[in-house]
Structure 1
Amino acid sequence: MWPESPVWLVRMGRRNEAMQSIRRLYGNPDTIRHDGLLAQIEESTAKEEETNNNSNGTKGDIYVECFRAANRHRTLICMFIYMCQYLSGLVFVLGYQSYYYQLAGFSPRKSFLLSMLNNVSMFVANICSWFLLSTLGRRPLIVWGQLCGAASLLIIAGCSMLETRAGYLGAISFIFVWGFTYQLTLGTAAWTVVGEIPTLRLRSPTQGLSNMALCISQWAVGFVFPYLFNPDSANLQGKVGFIFGATSFVGFVVVYFYLPETKNKTPIELDAIFDKGARGECDRGHAGPATSSTGTARV
């Protein structure tokens, strides 16, 4: 039987059960101090309750609270990161790559094989990202992944404009580059970051709102894309890379300035980072986000 969340147990005042849950979840005490982790959860939970009680004396709806000053940045960046997945050209590569290969002159059989090869490449990239998340962190993968994705999409669009065999081969090559880069960075790191950024108490509603933003962006892009891509409509084909390259670059700029590093950060440390942003202590005069001595973006 899966153990109950120690955070929920602490909120319910069931401290002993919370310790038992921590022991089951984390195993060997030589790897992580169980009592220290429980103390962190208790401190973070107490701080969240104090903040909530001091919010003009009103509690209100929990979803409304996600957009109050103390939590607004956390909620919006989580929603935006999820939206970036479909604003970065995912529908084009995963949904229409085989069709694009056929428009480029490949047979249906070869187009299908190329699609499967790209999917295998993305699967390998996903596995590689597990190790990069633990070494490089979340912020570098998402920030520079967005920039690399934007560059790849613009190259795809430029090659498609040539409408030659060499141009199409160049575009297909960078479709593979985009797929590998996406799954190595944003495609994996987004799910991790959105699970770490919200406060413990608002994690569920924040993730719910983020998923709602993901579904809306998925529907909007999925609805508009065929009219942009298909030969019997706007007939942009690979030139849709100009559109998604631009939206990916916008995503790069936003996450560069507003996404902090969450790797190895406790809930208390993340609370402190976002509290500074809520009080307006971020230095907006620099070209990039200000950083602390640990390299975390000040927000």
Structure 2
Amino acid sequence: MAMMIETDRLEQELEAGTTYFDCFQRINRRRTEIAMGVYSIQVISGIYLVGYATYFFTLAGLPTDKAFDMSIGFLALGFVGTLCSWVLLENFGRRIIYNTGLAALVVLLLVIGILDCVPGYTENAPLIWAQSSLMLVWNFCYGLSVGPVCFVILCEVSATKVRSKTIAVATATQALVGIVMTIAIPYLINPDQANVRLRFASIYLES
């Protein structure tokens, strides 16, 4: 308890006199931009699809019960990927893990989007299963890299004196991007609207 009290006192001392404007001064601007970028990429990379997983698999062409099973596997692989990321963080640099993971997500989304454009897709069961399985691999890669590593980078990249404020700015930026995606995703995937199905993956790449 004494250590907690002392740590709190030191942090208050350190942050005394700082403002949110300090996050954007030349000495801290690059750190703030990186923090905002890595946190926003969580949303842009497609993680908001998790909330629509069952519906997403149904739109892909799977039976409802199989779509539910796939959504459970989707979440389970994301969890396993996050556990595995602990090992990666101990053995590899943040930049390597983050950039490699992001590159893997881009490739997977591109392949998923291309498969959705194959003629006769809706009547090709193996193709539908392959595409849905790639979504599970995608979530594993996300949990292995971009998802958890983002928070590590967010805390480590910010200057100590304005760390809490930098994190607050990055969180606000991510929330704004999240609002846009929350509004856009239902419109894009619903059959009576844009009806892009799993071609939605390629839209992420274009953005």
Length-normalised TM-score, structure 1: 0.63
C-alpha RMSD of the superposition: 2.1
In terms of fraction of residues, the more helix-rich structure is: 2
1:196 match: 156
From 186, 211, 214, the counterpart of 2:171: 211
1:125 aligns with 2:76: no
Deviation at 1:150, TM superposition (A): 0.6
Deviation at 1:170, TM superposition (A): 2.0
1:151 aligns with 2:152: no
1:229 match: 189
| Structure 2: runs of 5+ lacking an equivalent | none
Give the count of matched residue pairs: 202
* Post-superposition CA distance 1:202-236 (Å, at most 9, x none): 00000000110111111111111111111111110
| Structure 1: runs of 5+ lacking an equivalent | 13-44, 50-58, 248-299
Question: 1:162-181 counterparts in 2 under 5 A?
Answer: 162=118, 163=121, 164-181=124-141
Instruction: Give the letter aligned to residue 69 of structure 1.
Output: R
1:9 aligns with 2:10: yes
* Post-superposition CA distance 1:269-295 (Å, at most 9, x none): xxxxxxxxxxxxxxxxxxxxxxxxxxx
1:63 match: 20
Q: Secondary structure at the match of 2:24?
A: coil
C-alpha distance in structure 2 between counterparts of 1:213 and 1:146, whole Å: 19
Larger Rg computed on CA atoms: 1
- Identity, in percent, stands at 29
2:52 match: 96
Instruction: Give the letter aligned to residue 186 of structure 2.
Output: P
2:44 match: 87
Length-normalised TM-score, structure 2: 0.90
2:91 match: 135
- Alpha carbons 1:150, 1:246 under 8 Å: kept: no
Instruction: Give the letter aligned to residue 142 of structure 1.
Output: Y
Instruction: Give the letter aligned to residue 71 of structure 1.
Output: N
Q: In 2 relative to 1, CA 10–178 (structure 1 residues): closer, same or farther, beyond 3 Å?
A: closer
Q: In 2 relative to 1, CA 76–152 (structure 1 residues): closer, same or farther, beyond 3 Å?
A: same
Q: In 2 relative to 1, CA 10–106 (structure 1 residues): closer, same or farther, beyond 3 Å?
A: closer
- Alpha carbons 2:62, 2:128 under 8 Å: kept: no
Q: In 2 relative to 1, CA 217–106 (structure 1 residues): closer, same or farther, beyond 3 Å?
A: same
* Post-superposition CA distance 1:146-202 (Å, at most 9, x none): 110011001111111122323222211210111000000010100011011111110
Question: 1:105-116 counterparts in 2 under 5 A?
Answer: 105-116=61-72
Q: Secondary structure at the match of 2:133?
A: helix
Q: Which runs of 4+ in 1 moved over 4 A?
A: none
C-alpha distance in structure 2 between counterparts of 1:70 and 1:215, whole Å: 25
Q: Secondary structure at the match of 1:213?
A: helix
* Post-superposition CA distance 1:115-165 (Å, at most 9, x none): 111211111111110111111121111111111001100111111112232
The structure showing larger relative contact order (alpha-carbon pairs under 8 Å, at least 6 residues apart) is 2
